[in-house]
């Protein structure tokens, strides 16, 4: 019985200290390689991007590094996992040469049957290389607008203002509208009544824009103070004034909201009124046109004789 135990245990021990130990080492090397890639790739890319994009803001460089690092780390992880898998199979005595040949044949067959996947991957590669957008940008693509949460070679993940997550294959992306590339713009229209002095209105709006740019909280977000650009349109109820300003990326909505609030407060203090809809009522009894905010006198049901 002891001889039988020894005859069985010797091959097991021999396998454990031979192929078994090598399998453990391969898996350990694979895990270590992945962890090293996760730490080293962002640093290498950060150095390269910093040198390749001189004059860019730290936010833009950080978004570019985050996007590239995410793509490269995932690619390296897939390569390491594939190499470790085939190496472990070889240690188990599996002949991997036919498997590699079959993989190439299957790859060709899949290539013909999965053209959309190839299209997604190629388009994703150009998106990453051309830096069309990256993680943290607000973009409009394929009819969906939102914050970019993930970019890889196959898909782009957006989260809109309602919190809905949209997963868009890169092959579906034809036109990219990046709302937060390098800088953003406040583009605001304010309507005032026809009876207001436009020079005075312009002075008040420009003053509010300068004060906002000097504010301790909002000033660091503003690159160019919001100012009146022009009289943009004549509408039924008032005159439209266009206001433009430049902010740091993705900060235009915060600045625009605060600007609206301060303009409303300044207009109230200066006695400048926002227009409200009017209607012209024709009184057939005296053939006169007059402005009326309610039904004609003597006609509570708003009917004419």
Tell whether 98 and 22 lie within a shared domain.
yes
Number of domains in the chain: 3
Q: What is the CATH number of the domain that holds 231?
A: 3.30.70.100
| Each residue's pLDDT tens digit, 194-246 | 999 999 999 999 999 999 999 999 999 999 999 999 999 998 889 999 999 99
CB-based contact 140:166 (threshold 8 Å): no
Using DSSP's 3-state secondary structure scheme, residue 197 falls into coil
CB-based contact 160:146 (threshold 8 Å): yes
Quote the pLDDT of residue 99: 61
Quote the pLDDT of residue 209: 96
Tell whether 100 and 201 lie within a shared domain.
no
In a domain, 203, yes or no: yes
User: What is the span of the domain harbouring residue 19?
Assistant: 2-113
* Spatial separation of the C-alpha atoms in residues 89 and 70, rounded to whole Å: 29
In a domain, 294, yes or no: no
In a domain, 194, yes or no: yes
Q: Give the sign of the dihedral formed by CA 36, CA 38, CA 40, CA 44.
A: positive
In this structure, the chain runs to a length of 305
* pTM for the predicted model, two decimal places: 0.64
Residues of the chain scoring pLDDT < 70: 1-18, 49-57, 95-115, 278-305
In a domain, 20, yes or no: yes
In angstroms, the Cα distances linking 38 to 20, 121, 136 are 27, 22, 20
Domain boundary among 147, 178, 209: 178
């Amino acid at each position: 019985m002891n001889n039988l135990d020894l005859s069985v245990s010797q091959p097991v021990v021999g396998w454990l200290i031979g192929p078994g130990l090598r399998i453990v080492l391969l898996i350990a090397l694979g895990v270590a390689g992945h962890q090293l890639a996760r730490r080293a790739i962002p640093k290498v890319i950060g150095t390269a991007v910093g040198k390749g994009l001189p004059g860019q803001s730290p936010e833009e460089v950080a978004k570019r590094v985050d996007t590239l690092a995410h793509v490269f780390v995932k690619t390296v992880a897939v390569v390491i996992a594939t190499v470790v898998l085939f190496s472990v199979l070889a240690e188990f005595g599996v002949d991997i040469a036919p498997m590699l040949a079959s993989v190439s044949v299957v790859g060709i067959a899949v290539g013909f049957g999965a053209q959309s996947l190839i299209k997604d991957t190629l388009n994703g590669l150009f998106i990453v290389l051309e830096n069309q957008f990256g993680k943290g940008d607000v973009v409009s693509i394929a009819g969906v607008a939102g914050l970019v949460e993930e970019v890889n070679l196959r898909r782009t993940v957006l989260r809109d203002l309602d919190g809905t997550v949209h997963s868009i294959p890169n092959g579906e992306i034809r036109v990219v509208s990046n709302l937060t590339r390098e800088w953003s713009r406040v583009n605001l229209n304010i309507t005032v009544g026809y009876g207001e002095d436009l020079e005075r209105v312009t002075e008040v709006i420009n003053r509010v824009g300068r004060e906002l740019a000097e504010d301790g909280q909002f000033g660091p977000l503003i690159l160019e103070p919001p100012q009146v650009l022009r009289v943009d349109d004549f509408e039924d109820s008032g005159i439209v004034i266009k206001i433009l300003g430049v902010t740091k990326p993705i900060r235009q909505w915060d600045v625009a909201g605060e600007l609206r609030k301060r303009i409303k407060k300044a207009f109230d203090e200066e006695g400048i009124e926002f227009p409200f809809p009017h209607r012209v009522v024709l009184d057939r009894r005296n053939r006169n046109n007059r402005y009326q905010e309610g039904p004609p006198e003597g006609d509570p049901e708003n009917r004419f004789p």
